[in-house]
Chains A and B, each alone.
Chain A
């Protein structure tokens, strides 16, 4: 490579010479960049030069300031969407003295399929994810089902029978044991449904809407207490 460049460029012979003797100007610059810590202070009477102002942008508006508790906001909006009348919320709210409690026999009417009834042995309060655990005996086999109380598949929840005495536990899991098992509650539920049907027949509300009926039932169930 070098030989070829030599042959092509006649002036290239100068490059090596120039490299050997660098220019005096360059030399001085190099010497001025010595590794020294010498600091030359500015003269006192130096003219004051105002610093260039840097434009400061304001921080983006905080979401926290805009919405204090976003999760709670989502939960309330979802509950408002799924339970517009507020029936479910009141049925399981702790403030309501006539609310459904653990130990009551509840009937869950589903949009698709048969209703399921059973003793409520657990209420899991988690906002819009709240659920109830019902236990019953079908064809002599114990069955437990969890239902989400705000589920769109759940058409209505009714109190069939209340426990005589308030349960002193929050979760009645002991009711799984043979000693405490209530067995089948199907008879109680059937009797309840029959009486309710008779009441509805007496009222002769033939053209009453379905939701309206549900509301009536609930009122009657509460009135029994």
Chain B
């Protein structure tokens, strides 16, 4: 149940670490796995090797998004239980999303973390293929 002001982890390598939901698109209720939302980047990710004296320059070069950017995203994990048509229920321990551009292509090139299988149903197979694991 992602709604206005929800904070999500961003699990791709676009450079965002924590994002805040600004709008759930085409819906009047909380977003679930596979739903498209608009987010504001709140925290940038610092990559390991770059964290040194020249960190600020290299992180800004590596990061495709910056703090304060407004981007589209797809929810890939929710804390809220999600029931499948076969009666099984899946629940993750955090809320997570993947940044996409306006045409629906993911901004990052790799994902770290499990994602929900509902993405296939919602036609996000590109994100699903990037993910190391889906459930």
Contacts and interface: CB of A to CB of B under 8 A. Distances in A.
A148 interface: yes
A145 B90 contact: yes
Nearest to B116: A143
Q: Which of B86, B90, B94, B133 has the most CB of A within 10 A?
A: B86
A146 B84 CA distance: 10
Contacts of A176: 93
Given A138-B114, A139-B112, A145 B88 contact: yes
Interface residues of B, number: 19
Which of A113, A116, A140, A145 has the most chain B CB atoms inside 10 A of its CB? Answer: A145
Interface string A30-54: 0000000000000000000000000
B86 A153 contact: yes
Given A116-B135, A145-B135, A139 B90 contact: no
B86 A139 contact: no
A142 B92 contact: yes
A58 to B, nearest CB: 44
Interface string B91-128: 11110100000000000000011100100000000000
Contacts of A131: 87
Contact of B90 (A140, A144, A151): A144
A143 B88 contact: no
Given A116-B135, A151-B86, A141 B91 contact: no
Nearest to B83: A146
B91 A144 contact: yes
B86 A145 contact: no
Interface in A112-126: 113, 116
B77 interface: yes
Contact of A151 (B81, B88, B135): B88
13 contacts: A116-B135, A138-B135, A139-B114, A142-B92, A142-B94, A143-B90, A143-B91, A143-B114, A144-B93, A146-B89, A148-B86, A148-B87, A176-B93
Given A142-B92, A145-B88, A153-B86, 9 more contacts: A116-B135, A139-B112, A139-B113, A139-B133, A141-B96, A142-B93, A144-B91, A146-B87, A151-B87
Query: Which 8 interchain pairs have the tightest Cβ spacing?
Result: A142-B93, A146-B89, A144-B91, A138-B114, A148-B87, A139-B114, A139-B113, A153-B86
Interface of B: 77, 81, 86-94, 96, 112-114, 117, 132-133, 135
